[in-house]
Every structure is written in C-alpha cells, then in structure tokens.
Amino acid sequence: MSPTSTPKQEMQLTTEFEHAEQSPGYLLWRCTNRWQAAIRATLKPFGLTHVQFVLLASLLWIQTDGRVTQRHLAEHAATDPMMTSQVLRALETRGLVKRSAFPGDNRAWSLRVSTKGGALVSRAIAEVERCDREFFASLGERQAELTKLLLELVI
C-alpha cells in the first residue's frame, strides 16, 4: 500500500440476523424459487407458464359460481389486472379461454374455460399436485401446519 492510499473499507450489511438463514423472508425467497422452478419444469410439457396455469385453474374453479369477470379472476388469483388481461388474451388465442361481453357492462368481459382449456388444465393439475407432493414430502405430517401458517400470511 502506498503512503497516500487508505485501506478499503469493507461494506457490511446491518441486519438483526447473524446468518441469512435466520431470515424468514430470505428463506421464503429461496424456497419459492426452488418450488417455482419445479412447477415450471412440470408445466413445460403442457405448453403453459405458471401464471397461465394459475389463471386457467382459478377460472375453472370459480366459473361454477356464474359469470366471471377479469377483475374477479384477478382478485381470486391475486394477479395484476393488466397482466391478467394480457395472459387471458394469449389463452383465448390458443382456444383455452372464451371471452364475451359481460351482460350489462360493456367494459367487462365474461370468462369461461373452453373444453380444450378444461381438458388441458385437468391434465396439468394432476402433475402440479404430484410436483407439490414431491416438493413438500420431506415435511411429512408437518405439511398441514405449513399450509395453516401460509394461510395466515395470505389472509
């Protein structure tokens, strides 16, 4: 080191945790990334992205309640309304979703899963549930507790 240079100051993270693995947010981030990678791989043979699958499955789940609008679907799936609209257009182009004018509201769309979309999402959900069983298998009987805890966080 020359006489005029100063030692480099190392930047340090100021945190309440001694190790990153003590942070629930960091662990949730890592777990979510691993789970999403497994889901993406599971859905690839079906030609569906994760969000396409979620919107198709959600729509099939709630369409039994009557006419479903894009806003209702976005709220149910917890997705951004604009992104939901874009994804629905892509699904409609593939013949997986049918959109029609919502009675009494020219600004809203009424949504239904097509027969083709229903068949596809029904096949895909069996594989997604298999993927989930494998991913969470190491928890054994504690899976129910994890589900309960996650439900507390989303409500």
Give per-residue pLDDT as tens, 22-66.
Answer: 788 899 999 999 999 999 999 999 999 999 999 999 999 999 867
For domain 49-154, which architecture applies?
Orthogonal Bundle (1.10)
Amino acid at 120: L
DSSP 18-47: SSGGG-HHHHHHHHHHHHHHHHHHHHGGGT
What does the domain layout of the chain look like in residue ranges?
Answer: 49-154
98 burial level (CB within 10 Å; 0-12, 13-18, 19+): middle
The H or E element spanning position 109 is: strand 105-113
Q: What residues contact 81, with CB distance under 8 A and at least 6 apart?
A: 70, 71, 74
Residue-wise pLDDT for 112-155, tens only, equals 999 999 999 999 999 999 999 999 999 999 999 999 999 999 88
pLDDT over 60 (residue 2): no
74 burial level (CB within 10 Å; 0-12, 13-18, 19+): buried
pLDDT over 70 (residue 72): yes
Bridge-based pairing of strands 105-113 and 97-102 is antiparallel
Q: Look up the pTM and report it.
A: 0.84
Residue showing tokens 């309440």: 16
pLDDT for the residue 5: 59
Q: Which two tokens stand for residue 82?
A: 């604009």
CA separation, residue 22 to residues 5, 19, 142 (Å)? 38, 6, 20
Mean pLDDT of 87-106: 90
For residue 69, give the 3-state DSSP assignment: strand
